[in-house]
Chains A and B, each alone.
Chain A
């Protein structure tokens, strides 16, 4: 059974077990447990102050754990100082050594490896090729742009072939276009080198674009760990659903008639038939359901098939590739957000006037049942 144990180990390449961290009275990390697989691009996503950077710094060894243990490749890390950990980090500020040129920055960590000068120069050149900055070896640190510094910081860490690369919001300081370009490059680079990346970000779009899996964090806790599609399509809680994209929330009650039929009676939406596999709660139980704005379709007349309700248009915003509408529906206080792709050119077309009646339709499969708090 050697195969299975190796599999298990690769699945728990980084294992965070019941880890807590407090600074005085402030609980920065609150009983976090999760596993990160070997070779995956894993993101820690959350608003500022959620503990994501603290957790990353604990992986690097810059912060100790108050409770619990972190294992990297089956080795407990508690007593291992930063300079002996098999991880390297790309800092938010990049932390390029200002007194060294690009070559010496990249070669900084090679001192202990006792390489020949020629071998070292060759490794640096390989790295400069990898980050697409060949010939930059003699540049001074203060002659580099933000994007170049970011690449040097990556090269300086990757040249040591770490088991894990930690990235602390490395794209945060870049402008939008450069950031999008670097996202693609970072993803390609990670595939190329095959090193496990742990990436901290507050930008949900960035996390969705880059990651194999994402841990959504808030208040020092991990709310959900899932793939980007999993987080978006099947968020477990209201917090996760509203942090990743937008979501309309509806309160509802479970209606059951024997074991064959199940439905949710939701405010404003009426009775929605559900599959009994998905809806396990008993008759009369309160539930909270969510529907993404783009899962609704809008039409001026009642559609022939599917579930539909009537709503009155409150506001419409044209946003380029899509338009955002808010409609009030009977039986619900807050307006419902609807996002509709602009598949036809709208030149000269009048937007629907405020107050106009439109039909909203959706399919029951689009309904997400959320955990009630």
Chain B
């Protein structure tokens, strides 16, 4: 009688709206209170202010922590994306036995609780006598980010016709030139998406950092440390609001770039 794609249903629309509100309203309280002129997080709101953001500006340790997170995030996103490209290429372009098992092992960190990896790495590193530092945090983040990089890149490699690379070889280019003239430009949107996604994950990450941070805290570690001091709380909210905004922006850009790339290839 009616087509398979049905017309919108009122009850379902209402459900969807409630779902989104429940999901995002708690998060929206953070930017809301970051503009509230009171150190206490409670209603009624006391008035609009940007002084918490101004205060944030003057604090040296906040900016150190931010810079630490950015450094770790950049290095981790580049390394995990390079490894992801290599993994996705081998998975899609070579005949390997046990390919399914290999992909499962690569994706496993997605489902293993971070606390287990965190404890395991801490035990291993301390046994080996490696001092905790931003490098050890980066190592932990790499484990978490690699499956995301592979998951982002794999569909790009699967999505294009292998005969396009064969055509390049046929037209006289070796593997190296074929990669840079054909493969790389074609998976570029996936690479950008992977860089943005892994950077965001590393930037926000707390559990690994909790176990593996030395004397230099990452931003989430620093914020966590500040929660003990009520006076500091509003500027933590301001910081959180900024991070929230940047994270959203990065994920949206990553999504947009990924989709645009797919459209270009029809």
Contacts and interface: CB of A to CB of B under 8 A. Distances in A.
Given A83-B172, A83-B174, A160-B172, A142 B266 contact: yes
B169 A82 contact: yes
B157 to A, nearest CB: 14
A112 B166 contact: no
Given A98-B264, A142-B264, A91 B166 contact: yes
Interface residues of A, number: 25
Nearest to A166: B170
A112 B170 contact: no
Contact of A97 (B167, B169, B172, B174): B167
Nearest to A60: B170
B173 A97 contact: no
Interface in B158-174: 160-161, 163-164, 166-174
B223 interface: no
Given A95-B161, A99-B185, A99-B186, A89 B172 contact: no
Contact of A156 (B160, B169, B171, B173): B171
Contacts of A87: 170
Contacts of A98: 160, 164, 186, 264-266
A88 B169 contact: no
Contacts of B266: 98, 142
Contacts of B174: 81, 83
Nearest to A62: B166
A111 B173 contact: yes
A109 interface: yes
Interface in B230-266: 264-266
B1 to A, nearest CB: 36
Nearest to B182: A97
A99 B172 contact: no
B171 A109 contact: yes
Contacts of B182: 97, 99
A234 interface: no
Contact of A109 (B172, B185, B264): B172
B39 to A, nearest CB: 54
Interface in A44-89: 60-62, 81-84, 87-89
Contact of A95 (B164, B177, B185, B265): B164
A98 B160 CA distance: 10
A113 to B, nearest CB: 9
A21 to B, nearest CB: 15
A82 B166 contact: yes
A250 interface: no
B171 A91 contact: no
A362 interface: no
Interface in A91-147: 91-93, 95, 97-99, 108-109, 111-112, 142
Residue among A83, A93, A108, A111 with the highest chain B CB neighbour number at 10 A:
A83
B170 A93 contact: no
B265 to A, nearest CB: 5
A143 to B, nearest CB: 11
A93 B173 contact: no
A61 B168 CA distance: 13
A92 B166 CA distance: 12
Residue among B166, B177, B264 with the highest chain A CB neighbour number at 10 A:
B166
A62 to B, nearest CB: 6
B167 A99 contact: no
A98 B181 CA distance: 12
A19 to B, nearest CB: 20
A338 to B, nearest CB: 45
Nearest to A91: B163
Contacts of A61: 169
Given A88-B171, A142-B264, A156-B171, A95 B166 contact: yes
Contacts of B166: 60, 62, 82, 89, 91, 95
17 contacts: A60-B166, A62-B169, A81-B169, A88-B171, A93-B161, A97-B167, A98-B164, A98-B264, A99-B186, A108-B168, A108-B171, A109-B171, A111-B177, A156-B171, A157-B170, A160-B171, A160-B172
Given A99-B264, A111-B173, 18 more contacts: A61-B169, A81-B174, A82-B170, A83-B169, A83-B170, A83-B174, A84-B172, A87-B170, A91-B166, A92-B163, A97-B167, A98-B264, A98-B265, A99-B185, A108-B181, A111-B177, A157-B170, A160-B171
Report the 7 A-B pairs with minimum CB-CB distance, sorted nearest first. Answer: A109-B171, A95-B167, A82-B169, A95-B163, A99-B185, A91-B163, A95-B164
